[in-house]
Amino acid sequence: MSRQVVMDLPDGAFSALRTEPAEFAHEMRLAAAVKWFELGRLSQAKAAEIAGLSRYEFIHELTRFGVSPIQETVEELAEGLAREK
């Protein structure tokens, strides 16, 4: 199930990125998912889903945005590894 979100944007928004409305919407959806992942608000899997991409594709896009696919701190990684032992 999915829901549709309708937004009113100024005409200048499309020319700013030199893109058509459909591509602009895709890029906005991806940018939001990347930012929310970067902020720790979404898991990698959920962010990929929101972006409409596979996790592999999403990880590739993270590099384009300069965001690390690993968002855990060293302490969080150590705790996770300790729990697995």
At 27-65, the pLDDT tens digits run 999 999 999 999 999 999 999 999 999 999 999 999 999
pLDDT at 26: 93
Q: H/E element holding 58?
A: helix 55-65
Q: How do the domains of the chain map onto residue ranges?
A: 11-84
Chain-centre distance of CA 58, in angstroms? 7
Arithmetic mean of pLDDT over the chain: 90
Predicted pLDDT of residue 1: 83
How many angstroms separate the CA atoms of 59 and 30, rounded? 11
Supply the pLDDT for residue 49.
96
